[in-house]
Each structure stands twice: as C-alpha cells, then as structure tokens.
Amino acid sequence: MIAKLLAISLTAIFVQNFVLVKFLGICPFLGVSKKVDTALGMGMAVTFVMTLASMMTYLCQNYILAPLRIEYMQTIAFIVIIAALVQFVEMFLQKYIPSLYSALGIYLPLITTNCAVLGVALLNIQQDPPYGLIESMVNGFASGLGFLLAIVLFAGVRERLEFSDIPKSFQGFPIALVSASLLALAFMGFSGMSFNF
Amino acid sequence: MSDLLKTFKNGLFDENPTFVQLIGMCPTLAVTTSLANGIGMGLSATVVLTLSNIMISLLRRLIPSKVRIAAYVAIIATFVTVIDLLLQAFLPSLSDSLGIFIPLIVVNCIILARAEAFASKNGVVKSAVDGLGMGLGFTMALSLISAIREILGAGTILGYPLGISAPATVMILPPGGFLTLGLILGVMNVIKNRRGGKKS
C-alpha cells in the first residue's frame, strides 16, 4: 500500500507534472508567478484545496452520484463542491489564520476556476482500476505539490528575466512562455519513467 | 447593425481572447496537438459560450448580484454537460482525444469572463453575437497554433501527410505548446511595433 502511494506521488509530482506535462492550471502558473513568495503561497493554497477536493469529490461520486446512477451530473456536482469548498476554506482561514488569509488575498477565490482542481477530481475517478479514498487524496496532494514545484521554479526563472536584456517585442508574456517551454523540456527528462516498488 | 458587426469583430480581432487577453490558456496549450483537435475544442467552446451568453443575458435581471458567479457557473456547467454527452454520442473519437478538457470547459476563464463583463449587462442578441465572435476568435487562435504544431511536429495537416521526412516531434509534446504560443505572441508584437513606428 505504502509503495503504491509512493509510486502515485512520484508520478504525479515529476513524470505527469500537472502544469508542465498535463497543461492543467496554466492560468495561475502564468498569472501568479512574478514573485517567488506569492507563487509559494498560491502553490500551497492550491495543494490544500486539491487534497480536500479529491476527498469530497470521491465521497460525492461513490456515495451520491453512483448509487443514484446520475454520473452524468458529475461536472455540475463537482464544480459546485469545489466552489463551496473554496468558500469554506476562505472563511476558515479568515477566522483562524488571518495572516495566511491576507497573504493569499485575491488568489484564494480564484482557485475555484483553476482547472487543476476540477482536473484532479475528474482524473481520480477515471483511473483504471479506480482510486480508493486514500489513493485519491494522495494523488490530489502530490499533484498539488507538482503544481507548487513548477510554479516556484518558474517564478525563480521570471525573477531573473526581469534583469535580462530582452528584445522589446518579446518582453513580458512571450519570453515567459519560451522560458516555460524550456522548463517543460527539462521535465520531459522524467517522461516514460514508471515506478514499481 | 454596424454595432453588432463591431461586437462580432471585437471578439475576433481587437480583443481576441487568446492572443490579446491571454485567457483560457489551459485548453489552448493542451489540445492543440493536431488541427482537428484544435477546431473541435474551439467549436465546442464557441457553442457553450454562445448558449451561456444567451441564457445569462435572458436571466440578467433575475439573478441576484450576490450569488451571480455561482449562478453563472451552474448555467455554464449545464451546457458543458450537454456538449460532453453529445460529443460522446456522435463524435466519440474527438471526445476521446479531447478527454477531460471537454468537462474542463466549465472552468475556462473566457466563458465566465464574457458572462460577467458582457452578457450580464447587454441584450440577448448582442450577447449572442459577442459569444459567437469571442468563440470564433478562440477557434481561430486554436486553429493557428494547432496547424503550426501539427505541421512541424507530426508532418501532417488534418491527418494528411505532407512529405516531411523528419518532423520535430517535440512540437507536439508539451514544450512545443509553450514555444509556439510564445513565438506567435512575440511575432505579433514585432508586427504591432513596426506598424506603430510607421504611424508616428
């Protein structure tokens, strides 16, 4: 069991990195990666929400949608769960950890429309054989860590780009995308790896 | 009439969601590995965008502003489910190759952005035209990116071989997606700067 969870984690973080291999969560990856600090905060918030969302959507799928045979309501049910979850996390942080709440600011509500969160929920139940509760949560957590790793690395690169001499037409987004391409190329080194412990 | 034309053109060129506003990046990069996928994704998003714009515009006086985002998301998710089921039934191969990116149209920022910025403030016809324009602008951008990636990466166009002996496979892999979009944006800036220079 432990070995399987480790394999799921390593695959989700490196081999099938959510941002650089699966192209999920590109909007915050490009939008919130100008500074390492904010990238770190965003990454941690996303990891937290993805873990919780994996758990809640698993329970919803297996105890509500499947027994009632209304799996086609998946997309609607999941997005509502995620929106409610983000709202709940926001209220909780505001009350009990106000420092983290103010640090995350606007990024917290935006997690609802982060496709990485809905993506991990949908991928968890599409696995063959399907993931159990623990496996789904570990996959959610590890995919979140993969997002965290990618966005922090990219923020580090972008901080350096600020000081480099870039042709006028390529300043800003174009050069950021080209750098992201090089980062994705680096992550391709992991492709094809599989873990059998 | 000219007003409607302007709204339509606005989505296609002046405020093109992909190249100018830079939103909806996940499907833009993920599904553009072949031209057929790009067009399929673009048209699916266009249908959802147009229908949700019409619906939200019709309901704009009924939805309380405090819960509007939740209401928009529920409306969008309904249309996405409809498209998802239709594609599974009638175009199973496209549905397979787009995979989870069909349900993920729900969280495509373009659709929510148009609901919030346009459909909630304008009439039905204008909102429908806006949705159509934005959607086709998105489709156009996806087609361009996916055509470049398919030609360079697989040596084919719409699946027909072009006789390229050694295609650069990296272009249809993830790094190629970032690279193509980055270079297109850069080249567009070059053109824009040249034109600006001539005018002044």
Q: Give the ipTM.
A: 0.86
**Which residue in B has a C-alpha nearest to residue A174's C-alpha?**
B182
First-to-final CA distance of chain A: 10
Q: What is the pLDDT of residue B198?
A: 59
Q: Does B175 touch chain A (CB under 8 A)?
A: yes
The reply to whether residue B70 touches residue A83, judged by beta carbons under 8 angstroms, is yes
Q: What is the dihedral of CA A16, B139, B88, A79, to 10 degrees?
A: 60
Q: What is the pLDDT of residue A197?
A: 63
Chain A residues inside the 8 Å CB shell of B73: 79-80, 83, 112
Size of interface A-B (CB pairs under 8 A): 119
Q: If pLDDT is split at 50, 70 and 90, which confidence band does B66 have?
A: confident
The reply to whether residue A181 touches residue B109, judged by beta carbons under 8 angstroms, is no
The reply to whether residue B74 touches residue A178, judged by beta carbons under 8 angstroms, is no
Q: DSSP letters along chain B, please?
A: -HHHHHHHHIIIIIT-TTTTS---HHHHHHSTTSHHHHHHHHHHHHHHHHHHHHHHHHTTTTS-GGGHHHHHHHHHHHHHHHHHHHHHHH-HHHHHHHGGGTGGGGG-HHHHHHIIIIITTS-HHHHHHHHHHHHHHHHHHHHHHHHHHHHHHHSEETTEE---SS--GGGGSHHHHHHHHHHHHHHHHHHHHHHHHHH-
| Cα–Cα distance, B41 to B47 (Å, whole number) | 10
At B129-150, the pLDDT tens digits run 999 999 999 999 999 999 999 9
pLDDT at B108 over 60: yes
Q: Which of A26, A75, A169 sits opposite B80 (nearest CB)?
A: A75
Q: What is the pLDDT of residue B129?
A: 93
Cis peptide before B92 (omega within 30 of 0): no
Q: What is the pLDDT of residue B15?
A: 85
Are the beta carbons of B43 and B27 closer than 8 angstroms? no
The rounded percent of chain A whose pLDDT value lies above 70 is 97
User: Model's pTM, two decimal places?
Assistant: 0.88
Q: Does B86 touch chain A (CB under 8 A)?
A: no
Averaged pLDDT for residues A49-71:
92
First-to-final CA distance of chain B: 33
Q: Does A70 touch chain B (CB under 8 A)?
A: no
Q: If pLDDT is split at 50, 70 and 90, which confidence band does B26 have?
A: confident
Collapsed DSSP state (helix, strand, coil) of residue A116:
helix
The reply to whether residue B182 touches residue A76, judged by beta carbons under 8 angstroms, is no
The reply to whether residue A79 touches residue B77, judged by beta carbons under 8 angstroms, is yes
pLDDT at A103 over 80: no
- Which of B88, B178, B188 has the highest number of chain A CBs within 10 A, making it the mutation to test binding with A? B178
